[in-house]
A and B are shown apart, each in its own frame.
Chain A
Amino acid sequence: MASMRDIKRRKQSVSSTQQITKAMKLVSTVKLQKARTKAEQTSPYFEAMYSTICSMLAKAGTVDNKYLKDNGSEKKAVIVISSNRGLAGGYNSNIAKQITGSDLKKEDVKLYVIGHKAGDSLARKGYEVAKDYSPVMEAPTYADAISICNDVLEAYAAGEVGEIYLVYTHFKNTVSQVPKMMKLLPAEISEEDVQAASNSNVLMNFEPNEEEALELIIPKYVTSLVFGALTEAVASENGARMQAMDSATNNAEDIISDLSLKYNRARQGSITQELTEIIAGAEALT
């Protein structure tokens, strides 16, 4: 049986860890609230953007646009959004799994990494990292999304990559975050939405004409998607960390109560032993 001193020392160390996890939980709760309002504020912009794109495609039909058709390149650009800090449960490894578990071939993938964690683990596995924008994750702004998209779209326009994917964690609610992979380009918009847009009997005009307008609008559409994903990822990261720290705090609680029991038992044991020794000593004298 471990000595009383050992148990006591261990109990102290667990309880100081618990204090840290508790504090981290509180911090991420506050951050989550902020990030969530931010994520909610971006959604009207994105929804309006999406419906505009749908109505454009419904009107434009099969416009010959470089963003809508295959450019023949085998390479695939993947924008990976994870976090710069760990201790968020499975948050970062789930993101990495989205890529390793997908049917994309390792040689074909070019990563545009936002957030060290998933980026590093994928780089170790042998994926090619084209660019790293990790510092962005601290406080993503729309300007950041623009500069990331510019780089990726340039590569797309130059024919270096044929498809663009986005991997991020969708923020469903405080307790549920779902890692997601989505195809950005060539643009895929669900048939139903296009149908719905074309059924609303508004005859939309475009200025400049459809092709030029699409040319200008699709990059904006992609940027708005990336920005939306960034803000959601921040919310998800804090949500995941909050949960992880909550369960860590609970675990520490369990361990402490277990150790307390052991400590008390050991203390009682030593008292009993001392008493027996004293009594035995007294008996020997008489």
Chain B
Amino acid sequence: MADNTFKISIVTPERILYEGEATMVEFNTVEGQIGVLPMHIPLTTVIAPGICTITEGETQKKAAVHAGLAEILPDKVTLLAEIAEWPDEIDLERARSAEDRARERLANKGDDVDVLRAEIALKKALVRQDILA
């Protein structure tokens, strides 16, 4: 293994989405966006909905990752994602209608509306559309 790459794996409960080498990986955490290069300090952090970009030399791969946690070690990054998907698995129509529904729920806030949940749904829908744009 060359010194300028590290192992990256994206694991979801249903499958292993990706396993391979990378020179850089970027994703969203609850504290903000981070980019990880090889020999990063050990860090465990919580993932926020966003696009995860895996750079391996010249090629770039993108995946939508919603919720989960990331464990970063100097030579290895593990994303434990509750939901993660490749762009070609995303249904744009569904994401759009989910966005509309979430916006609607947020617009007429009643007592029975779970604001937090609606916001998360909205974020997920936006990430899904983003990655396809």
Q: How many residues of B contact A (CB 8 A)?
A: 23
**In the complex, B87 has a CB within 8 A of chain A:** no
Main secondary structure, interface of A, reads helix
Q: Mark A37-81, 1 if CB is under 8 A from B, else 0.
A: 010011011101100100110000000000000000000000000
Q: Mark B44-55, 1 if CB is under 8 A from A, else 0.
A: 111000000000
Say how far A227's CB is from chain B's closest CB, in angstroms.
5
Residue ID in chain B nearest A55 by CB atoms = B44
Given the known A-B contacts A44-B11, A227-B13, are A208 and B30 also in contact in the complex, defined by CB atoms under 8 Å? yes
Partner-binding segment picked from B67-75, B92-100, B101-109, B124-132: B67-75
Say how far B117's CB is from chain A's closest CB, in angstroms.
10
Contacting pair B46 A208 (CB below 8 A): yes
Chain B residues, CB < 8 A from A223: 82
**In the complex, A83 has a CB within 8 A of chain B:** no
Chain B residues, CB < 8 A from A44: 11, 16
Chain B residues, CB < 8 A from A206: 43-45
**In the complex, B23 has a CB within 8 A of chain A:** no
Q: How far is the CA of A227 from the CA of B14 in the complex (A)?
A: 10
**In the complex, B35 has a CB within 8 A of chain A:** no
Contacting pair B14 A42 (CB below 8 A): yes
Interface residues of chain A, those whose CB is within 8 Å of chain B, are 38, 41-42, 44-46, 48-49, 52, 55-56, 141-142, 145-146, 202-208, 213, 216-217, 220, 223-224, 227-228
Interface residues of chain B, those whose CB is within 8 Å of chain A, are 11-16, 29-31, 41-46, 68-69, 71, 73, 78, 80, 82-83
21 A-B pairs within 8 Å (CB atoms) are namely A38-B14, A41-B15, A42-B13, A44-B11, A48-B80, A52-B71, A52-B80, A141-B14, A142-B12, A142-B82, A142-B83, A202-B73, A206-B45, A207-B29, A207-B44, A208-B31, A216-B69, A220-B68, A220-B69, A220-B80, A220-B82
| Complex A-B, nearest 6 residue pairs according to Cβ-Cβ distance, in ascending order | A207-B45, A142-B13, A204-B42, A205-B43, A45-B11, A45-B13
